[in-house]
Structure 1
Amino acid sequence: MGAIRIASVALIGAGALALAPSTAVAANGSANANPGTPAFSVTPSVIAPGGQVTLNATNCSGDATATSGVFNTVTIPKDSSRNATVDSDAKRGASYTVTFNCDGVRGTTQLTIAGGSPTASSTTRPTVSPTVRTTTPPLGVRGGLGGSTGDGLDVVELAVGAALIAVAGGGAFYVLRRRSAGRQH
């Protein structure tokens, strides 16, 4: 009878450990689910009319282009960045779309025009990268990944994984404690 209990606890523990990596992946998340996919950014994301922005394109096999209604088309060399001067007559408070093209992948981000005249701080590159949303053409169904490509942290999955690990640990403790108590008599 003791072997059945130990086997049960071992099976529950193995199941909990099998679920543990999926919860760790869900907790980590990933900004770029496909490494090697082109990534784009504009810094700063809020700029005064006449200021300069830095356009970044990475993971491109060749040159990338960036276009917007507030600056001329810019060609960005492979895995590099270029500056662009925002038109001095850009509408204050407006938000403009910046479109990147690289290796057939199109990405967009927003550039907001602030009020006032450009200052030294509006032309320097900040240390924090803005959030960028890259659009890619549909790739079809991603079968076989088991839901590991989710965009966010699923609290329910984390709670279920933690509960399974706690139950497995408690079961192992119970069996070991009971087993050692049985040997003392």
Structure 2
Amino acid sequence: MRAIRVASAALLTASALALTAPTASAAAVGEENVTAFGFSISPKTIAAGGQVTLNVDGCDDGDTKVTSGVFDDTTIPKGQKSATAQVFWDAKPGAMYEVTFTCNGSNPGSDKTDLTIATGRPDGSSHHKGVKAGIGGSLGGLDLHEIALGSALILGTLGTAYYKTRRRTGEGNS
């Protein structure tokens, strides 16, 4: 009988801990469109206000127009392989923006890629202001409500497990 209670408590504890652990999210992997010209953007993840390099290959005899909702339209002139663009300062951290490359040369076509805005400092400042004192360490950027809720769930689970498994005095003596 005791083994059943211990197993139940262990299962309850494991379930609660599994539910309080952060879940991993996986991006869907899809097929990319194939174009007659190559293109890339680097870096693929950038902070708001940062500068990205737009690269194209195989569109040598015409201009390449690059458009996105996160930076001004940019043209890579005929014969050049790259250009730079400044990401808007008000780009939403964590958002993914679509970037479209359109070749107007002998290999005309259009294709898209994604640019992710990094989650950075919440004040949006671009210059270093020195050491930021405060919580820091492993707690920096964590939400105290989430920590409190997680702690309450874990403590509740452990308390329930203890209650269910402890040997009660006088249980079989009456």
- Report the TM-score, using the length of structure 2 for normalisation: 0.46
The structure in which a higher percent of residues are helix is: 1
Greater RCO (CA < 8 Å, at least 6 residues apart): 1
In the superposition, the TM-score normalised over structure 1's length comes to: 0.43
